[in-house]
Amino acid sequence: MVDDDPVYRAVVSAYLQSDYRVLEAADVAMGYEQVLQHRPELVICDISMPEADGPVLFDRMRHIPEVSGTAFIYLSGCQDDDVISRALQRPIDDFLAKPVARDKLLVSVQRTLLRRRHLTEQLQAELDQKITLGLQPSLPREIGEYQVALRSRVPEAGGGDMVLLRDQLVIFADMMGHGVTAKAMCMHWPVICGAVCRGR
């Protein structure tokens, strides 16, 4: 919560502290330091403050990759339509006018966090898919007299290469990454002679 009014900071903290950990800052500079240090999921910020306005904090955060996706809500008693209009040119998550009822604030916070978490999960899933597709080699169906089958899976642990003989197949696998996010790319060849089994 970034607001130059200590009374309103205390009010908002009282509204939220039963469900959330709330950090308070009296100005943009202090709020920016806390954001970088604690990396909160959400910033609730006044628009008009003496030294720097809320949009300044939003703009500063957008230049730092680690906090650029932090949810952001304006909570302000500003009456200047031009100031509000300029502030709302940023892609914030919500705007609430002071004084705000506790129920309205909680609904806004819950909705904002839920939407941000959903978007983050979607982006991560798309990124994982792109990484997996990027790692998957392009192979012909046959190499000489051998048939080639390509499989990918997510192992419990990974790292390194392996060659495995199983069910009359030689399995060459390349493990990329570690833990549950590791990717395994395997190529299978049928065993057609003892020389292959002995690794010659």
> Does residue 106 sit in the same domain as residue 162?
no
User: Residue 140's pLDDT is what?
Assistant: 78
- Residue 30's closest CA among 52, 55, 15, 14? 52
Residue spans of the chain under pLDDT 50: 157-158, 178-200
In this structure, is residue 156 part of a structural domain? yes
Q: Is residue 70 located within the same domain as residue 85? A: yes
Q: Are residues 98 and 140 in the same domain?
A: no
Shared domain check, 154 and 116: no
The per-residue pLDDT for 186 is 47
Q: Are residues 20 and 111 in the same domain?
A: yes
User: What domain range is 178 assigned to?
Assistant: 136-197
Q: What's the pLDDT at 160?
A: 52
Query: Residue 125: its pLDDT value, please?
Result: 79
Q: How far apart, in whole angstroms, are the C-alpha atoms of residue 150 and residue 172?
A: 10
Domain boundary among 79, 112, 131: 131
Residue 132: the pLDDT is 65
